[in-house]
Structure 1
Amino acid sequence: MNNQMDLIKSKIEEAEYILVGCGLGFENTESIAEEVIYKPLATIDINGKAKLQEELQDEEAVNWIHQILVNYYNKQNTLEVYSKLYELVKDKNYFILSMNTSELIMQSGLDQSKIVMPCGNEGLFQCSKSCTHNIHLNNEYVENFVGQLPEIIKSIKSGESVKAYLPYCKECNEPLTFNVRANVDNYVEEGYLPQWQKYMEWLSRTLNRKLLLIELEVNFTLPSLIRWPFEKNSYLKNKAFLVRVNH
């Protein structure tokens, strides 16, 4: 193991470019206590999704409120693994390709202009019916919604529908939803395409350079996104080196 670690460290030190692929298993969010995520509802004694369900008896409302609370938490926090990744590559010419969709990576110190998230970004809304390719930052909506949550929950308990508090598409008046591939039938790719173009341009500059490719918890989910391209790059480029790290 020590020999492997020494080899990886030496490859990091000598690399001119570092490309990091973060798989779905890289974010271990199960370790985050639900009561921490539900802290905005502590004043009304709701400390988790089960308690919220008990209070509202409305699955649609519970699911939406839970998504917003998780999103609100992710906008303000990061994970230790992301902080360690930042320390690892901060002085290098790097790019991060992530299959994750949360905003936890954004608070890590990693340069957001060097991150691409093809599977979606929970910091963006799109039309749930994909009637338009427009995307919208959701920071203001999430902050306002969480600030009003005690009153919203009180209204829902009194019989009002959560639909009164959802964001809506200005074109077709259908609800907006998170710009995440797994959430919608028609994923609006405009959320990540500008960054993908930057990634492609960055990758083109690694030709004939010492390129280190690092896979972090990458399995065979969507192998065409990270696993196969990383293998191809390490095979075709004489100065490229591929490292796979799993739990």
Structure 2
Amino acid sequence: MSKSPHTTEFRAKVSQEYLDGLGSYNYLSAKYNIGCKTLREWVAKYRIYGIAAFSQKAGNTSYLSDFKNMCVEAVLSGEGSVDDIVATYNISSREVLRCWIKCYNANRELKDYDPKREVYMADARRKTTIEERKEIVEYCIKHNRDLKGTASIYEVSYSQVYSWVKKYDANGEEGLSDKRGRHKTDDEVDELERLRRENLRLKRQLEEKDMVVELLKKVKEFEGM
């Protein structure tokens, strides 16, 4: 997964402010320009592990299949909510656990994940539905186009994620359809379709530009603290 833009000290500081009663979740989220759900996740982990919950680790976290199954079964049996189990077992994010649950419910084996084993050379290209591909691409783009991290979370190959994102950039959701044969180029479609594709490309460029602007704002805020 992509690294958090927030430092260990910052996350601990904000969590402690909440525990000290210096502000509600909504107040602190607005004050520091962070998501309310993200803050709740920080506080839940901080209650249990303290600042160690936010220690930066080199590379991605290793998860064994037994651990994945234990966490999923804890949620499904009512032992705790997704957020509860993420905090209790210090899982990197709720998206990771939710992905395990989806695989579990689809009767797909939850395999060991060792970050030393590069996803670039994944030995299998599992079949996916159009809905899964949309979700994977949206997650990847939302997380700074972290192709490798996305591939490891959704248990697909790096090349699959790369291909889907590239197709989405060119043709939107239509590009994610599992079609046989060659996709028509811009020169082979009518004017209306060319305009539609160009509109999609411009829209995505604007969205990415806005993301970069927001990221730069956050960086300047942190540097000024």
TM-score higher than 0.5 here? no
Greater helix fraction, Structure 1 or Structure 2: 2
Q: Which has the higher contact order (CA 8 A, sep 6+)?
A: 1
Give the alignment's TM-score, normalised by structure 1.
0.29
Greater strand fraction, Structure 1 or Structure 2: 1
